[in-house]
Amino acid sequence: MANTLSSKKLYRVPEEGMLKGVCAGLAHYFDVPVRLIRVMVVLSMFFGLFFFTIIAYIVLTFMLDEVPASRYENEHPQTPRQLLDQLAYELGSGEQQLRKVERYVTSDTFGVQSRFRKL
């Protein structure tokens, strides 16, 4: 998960895919669930991008290489519990940052500084 997009390579993952593994490859590349990518593809087809979506899928099928055998074997999908724990941690840290900002904005120091800026 420490990989950035610039250090990743986009592959097809046929073992996890329904057709050719393009959606699974995109999901691994963007670190999102495969279902999310599939839902986005289906919705794009319903909302007027049918031919564009089909052409893009076919082009990606032929342009992308299959994933090397050892690429994702040490990558274990997270359990729903782990995902919820991670989400709770991220929401908690965001709430702490928000409280710090709120404390600063409601402080006397902020009021004095904003009055000086208006002068």
DSSP class of residue 12 equals: B
> 94 and 59 in one domain?
no
Would you say 26 and 36 are in contact if contact means Cβ atoms under 8 Å apart?
no
> 98 and 73 in one domain?
no
- The 3-class SS string of 37-99 reads HHHHHHHHHHCCCHHHHHHHHHHHHHHCCECCCCCCCCCCCCCHHHHHHHHHHHHHHHHHHHH
> 104 and 90 in one domain?
yes
pLDDT at residue 70, rounded to an integer: 57
Q: How sure is the predictor about 8, in pLDDT bands with cuts at 50, 70 and 90?
A: confident
> 109 and 70 in one domain?
no
* Closest by Cα among 101, 17, 30 to 61: 17
Could you list the residue range(s) of the whole structural domain that residue 22 is in? 1-77
Q: Which of 52-61, 62-71, 99-108 comes out lowest in average pLDDT?
A: 62-71
Average per-residue pLDDT in the chain?
A: 80
> 106 and 70 in one domain?
no
Q: How sure is the predictor about 81, in pLDDT bands with cuts at 50, 70 and 90?
A: confident
* φ/ψ of residue 12, rounded to 5: -90, 145
> 51 and 15 in one domain?
yes
> 59 and 34 in one domain?
yes
Q: Total domain count for the chain?
A: 2
> 83 and 54 in one domain?
no
> 105 and 52 in one domain?
no
Instruction: Look up the pTM and report it.
Output: 0.50
